[in-house]
Amino acid sequence: MSKKTAAIDIAEATRLEMYRSQYRLREAEQRAFDLFLQNLVKGTSHLSLGQEAIAAGFATAMQPGDLTFCTYRGHAHTLARGVSVEKVLGELMSRDNGLMRGKGGSMHLTSVEHGVMGSYAIIGAHLCIACGAAWRAQYQGKSDVTTCFFGDGTTNIGAFHEALNFAVIWKLPVVFVCENNLYMEYTPIKDVTAVAQPAADRASAYGLERILIDGNDADVVYQTAQKAYARARAGEGPSLIECLTYRHSGHSRADPAKYRPKGELEKWKESDPVKTYRARLLAQGIKASVLDEIERVVKAEVDAAEVACKASPLPPDEIMFTDVYADGGCAWRN
Amino acid sequence: MAKVTLVEAITLAHNWEMSHDPDVLVLGQDVGRNGGVFRATQGLQEKFGNQRVIDTPLAEGMIAGLCVGMAAQGLKPVAEIQFMGFIYPAMDQIVNHMTRLRNRTRGRLTCPVVIRTPHGGGIHSPEHHSESVESMFCHIPGLRVVCPSSPARAYGLLLAAIREPDPVLFLEPVRIYRYARQEVEDNGQALPLDVCYVLREGTDCTIVTWGAMTVESLKAAEELARQGISAEVIDLATISPIDAETILDSVARTGRLVIVHEAARNVGVGAEIAAIVAEHGLYDLEAPIQRVTGYDTIVPLARLEHDYAPSVARIVAAVRATLS
Ligand SMILES: Cc1ncc(C[n+]2csc(CCOP(=O)(O)OP(=O)(O)O)c2C)c(N)n1
Ligand SMILES: [Mg+2]
């Protein structure tokens, strides 16, 4: 695990963008939580608080046209591709202004025009699906790269291994990103995994390089992503990247996360990706006023999103019966 | 026009569609070099290359997942699962994603996938190789379940399935893969999905069936004719969604209904058909509906397999029961 403190070889504009992105993800997720407390977000959802550097680092390294596949913990990855906070919060609130106009919900955020090819709430499945998308790029001679995000718990399901095997055989332009936040829901990942590093220690089984990085350091994430994307675009095949991180909130809304040992959260908060990145930028000579301005603009977007979502109507109840078949309906017989 | 078997008609349909649509791909275990367990994809890899006819690893979940990813990106994958008993690892992809992407994304992502798999027994292969578990799939919203029963219908319905914008499970009655040859014009003409095909007209009793059981049912209708009973035989063809009108029209004329399927009886598709007729055609019935089905047990080894599936004698007896 490399702990670089200053990455001067990343352009200032890129670093500022990564700060903006991380700050935005933090604010949007925090607001999602606030709205939940106001009983405006029904059902469960899974926040990426504390894991922002991974979403920001990868998305910043992507090019337009690249594809993102997320899990149910997908708000951050969706936002990081440039989807508006209003569309994401609206979807969480099941409003008509939401990304899927209130039909997909928190766990199924999708925005084809931003390259977000869906969020998948069944563990493992989307790794195979991502291979299908990457296979299409290869078949059609396109240069887009697919990134598939998943958690540490996902490394123990068959689909993880099936997807890696297939991606390597065909040298697919796909990057598998394991966000190791130490927990599979409530179970410490080390208690249920044969190896210490659930993704990295499996890489060699597929002839892949062992890549384990500090997932709370956006610079490290960004540089690792760049390398993987260059490799994929050069036709050299997939990468498997394990990012060490920690979620600040519970697994889902209803989870108070009492199973965590005392002091663990506090220790990880010392390497809070948003705060440490801000401090680093200041140490690198960026003026506080520049960062303050970024924060002001982000806050304004999130505030405006909240107002718009609260004002947005709900979609009609008939959506329960739409879009099951290609004719737009769910008729037993079209 | 060539006389072909059902499995050869399937190869022809693949070949036609791949020749006319570069988005159509074939994938599965051994489908390329070997042309598949039953040779349904024979010669396709030679002609279209290994990027369009993909020999996959042994991983059905992966195959189905690839299909979802490819299809959501605009391709039209046609996957082969070697036997229906091997489809279960693919269930997650089929149930949770393939059939639902359209719904949860309001049509932004869709899954025009065909999954082909042999259906039913009768070829001396034990249990997993003799499954007819279509009712499990008929319960899934967003999925079409299709089962041809002749070379011509295999050709036309497979073309329709590949062109269909929604996922289709295409069941191939293994027992009649090579049962008979029929003239099939290789002209790219699809047949309509979602409709039944009346194979034999009759006035005394309606037999609704599909897959390999159409053969037994037609033989039973012959036998019944010799006994002076006129049976109408309907091939369901699209098992889900069911073309209720054709069945109800027929029952309105004959007043009697026998449903024949190879699958086990409990919660089989026959139960759904019986319910449809009970709901919408009860007053047309002159006798209780009869079901002739496989038994609620595991498909036995070769020695007993023909006792498992409905026989001509059982079908004849059921029709006679509706008339007694
Ligand atoms: C196949 C399947 N089994 C169980 C679940 C329930 N579940 C949802 S998230 C989760 C934990 C996943 O942990 P991990 O992969 O580490 O991701 P994280 O939530 O930590 O981001 C479980 C068990 C599921 N969604 N899918
Ligand atoms: Mg985890």
Quick: pLDDT tens for B236-256: 999 999 999 999 999 999 999
- Whole-angstrom distance, CA of residue A325 vs CA of residue B22: 24
Residue A213 lies in a domain: yes
CB contact under 8 A, A125 and B104: no
Gap between the terminal Cα atoms of chain B: 45
Whether the per-residue pLDDT at B63 is higher than 90: the answer is yes
CB contact under 8 A, A333 and B165: no
CB contact under 8 A, A125 and B75: no
Q: How far is A110 from chain B (nearest CA, A)?
A: 7
Residue of A52, A71, A123 to mutate, ligand 1, most atoms within 8 A of C-beta: A123
Q: Which residues contact B218 (CB under 8 A, 6 or more apart)?
A: B199, B200, B233
List the single residue in B with minimal CA-CA distance to A140. Answer: B23
Q: Which residues line ligand 1 (CB under 6 A)?
A: A 73, 121-123, 150-154, 179, 181, 183-185, 251
Tally the domains of chain A. Answer: 1
Q: Where are the beta strands (DSSP E) in chain B?
A: 2-4, 24-28, 53-55, 76-80, 114-119, 144-146, 168-173, 182-184, 197-200, 205-209, 231-235, 238-240, 257-264, 290-294
CA A24, A26, A27: angle at the middle one, nearest 5? 65
Which-ligand-closest: CA of A244? 2
Q: Which atom of ligand 1 is nearest to the CA of A51?
A: 21
Where b means 16+ CB within 10 Å and e means fewer, B288-322 reads ebbbbbbeeeebbeeeebeebbbebebbbebbeeb
Can you read off the two tokens belonging to residue A51?
């894991």
Q: Which residues of B touch A324 (CB under 8 A)?
A: 102-103, 141-142
A159 — contact with chain B (CB < 8 Å)?
yes
Residue A183 lies in a domain: yes
Residue A2 lies in a domain: no
Q: Which atom of ligand 1 is nearest to the CA of A72?
A: 9
Can you read off the two tokens belonging to residue B147?
């089962």
Residue nearest to atom 10 of ligand 1 (CA): A185
Note the pLDDT tens digit of each residue in A55-91.
Answer: 999 999 999 999 999 999 999 999 999 999 999 999 9
Q: Which residues contact A298 (CB under 8 A, 6 or more apart)?
A: A20, A23, A24, A27
Note the pLDDT tens digit of each residue in A200-239.
Answer: 999 999 999 999 999 999 999 999 999 999 999 999 999 9
Known catalytic residue: B129? yes
Among A132, A165, A326, select the one facing B66 at the smallest CB separation. Answer: A132
Mutate to test the interface with B, among A323, A330, A334 (most CBs of B within 10 A): A323
Note the pLDDT tens digit of each residue in B179-221.
Answer: 999 999 999 999 999 999 999 999 999 999 999 999 999 999 9
A243 — contact with chain B (CB < 8 Å)?
no
Q: How many CB atoms sit inside 10 A of residue A172's CB?
A: 25
Task: Give the pLDDT of residue B2.
Answer: 87
**Can you give the residue range of the structural domain that contains A96?**
12-314
B124 pLDDT tier (thresholds 50, 70, 90): confident
Q: Are strands B290-294 and B257-264 parallel, antiparallel or unpaired?
A: parallel
Residue nearest to atom 21 of ligand 1 (CA): A151
Task: Give the pLDDT of residue B125.
Answer: 86
- Whole-angstrom distance, CA of residue B233 vs CA of residue B206: 6
CB contact under 8 A, B97 and A100: no
Task: Give the pLDDT of residue A116.
Answer: 98
- Whole-angstrom distance, CA of residue B314 vs CA of residue B324: 15
- Whole-angstrom distance, CA of residue B309 vs CA of residue B169: 22
Note the pLDDT tens digit of each residue in A277-300.
Answer: 999 999 999 999 999 999 999 999
Over range A264-276, report the average pLDDT: 97
State percent of chain A over pLDDT 90: 94
Whether the per-residue pLDDT at B143 is higher than 60: the answer is yes
Q: Which residue in the list B14, B97, B129, B261 is annotated as catalytic?
A: B129
Residue A333 lies in a domain: no
- Whole-angstrom distance, CA of residue B24 vs CA of residue B53: 9
Residue A323 lies in a domain: no
Over range B169-182, report the average pLDDT: 97
Domain CATH number, residue A117: 3.40.50.970
Give residue B135 CA to ligand 2 midpoint distance, Å: 36
Whether the per-residue pLDDT at B302 is higher than 60: the answer is yes
Q: Which of B140, B127, B148, B136 is nearest to B5 (CA)?
A: B148
Distances (CA, A) of A232 to A239, B54, B313: 8, 21, 63
Among A120, A133, A326, select the one facing B166 at the smallest CB separation. Answer: A326
A216, A162 Cβ separation under 8 angstroms: no
Domains and CATH numbers, chain B: 2-184 (3.40.50.970), 197-323 (3.40.50.920)
Task: Give the pLDDT of residue A3.
Answer: 46
Note the pLDDT tens digit of each residue in B12-47.
Answer: 999 999 999 999 999 999 999 999 999 999 999 999
Task: Give the pLDDT of residue B233.
Answer: 98
CA A41, A44, A50: angle at the middle one, nearest 5? 95
B106 pLDDT tier (thresholds 50, 70, 90): very high
A334 pLDDT tier (thresholds 50, 70, 90): very low
Q: Which of B122, B175, B186 is nearest to B148 (CA)?
A: B175
Q: Which residues of B touch A332 (CB under 8 A)?
A: 241-242, 244
Q: Which residues contact A237 (CB under 8 A, 6 or more apart)?
A: A167, A168, A171, A172, A173, A231
Burial of residue A134, with CB atoms counted within 10 A of its CB: 0-12 exposed, 13-18 middle, 19 or more buried: buried
Residue A327 lies in a domain: no
Q: Which of B317, B313, B305, B291 is nearest to B135 (CA)?
A: B291
Distances (CA, A) of A176 to A147, A162, B65: 6, 13, 15
Whether the per-residue pLDDT at A8 is higher than 90: the answer is no
Q: Which residues of A touch B26 (CB under 8 A)?
A: none
A7 pLDDT tier (thresholds 50, 70, 90): low
CB contact under 8 A, B51 and A139: yes
Q: Which atom of ligand 1 is nearest to the CA of A123?
A: 26
Task: Give the pLDDT of residue B9.
Answer: 98
Residue nearest to atom 1 of ligand 1 (CA): A123
List the single residue in B with minimal CA-CA distance to A67. Answer: B73
**Mean of per-residue pLDDT scores for chain B:** 97
Task: Give the pLDDT of residue A63.
Answer: 98
Give residue A202 CA to ligand 1 midpoint distance, Å: 19
Residue A60 lies in a domain: yes
Task: Give the pLDDT of residue A50.
Answer: 98
**Mean of per-residue pLDDT scores for chain A:** 95
Note the pLDDT tens digit of each residue in A213-224.
Answer: 999 999 999 999
Gap between the terminal Cα atoms of chain A: 56
Q: How many CB atoms sit inside 10 A of residue A226's CB?
A: 16
Higher pLDDT, A8 or B155: B155
Over range B111-118, report the average pLDDT: 98
- Whole-angstrom distance, CA of residue B240 vs CA of residue B242: 5
Residue A321 lies in a domain: no
Helix A273-283 vs helix A12-37: angle between axes, to the nearest 10 degrees? 150
Give residue A182 CA to ligand 2 midpoint distance, Å: 6
- Whole-angstrom distance, CA of residue B135 vs CA of residue B145: 9
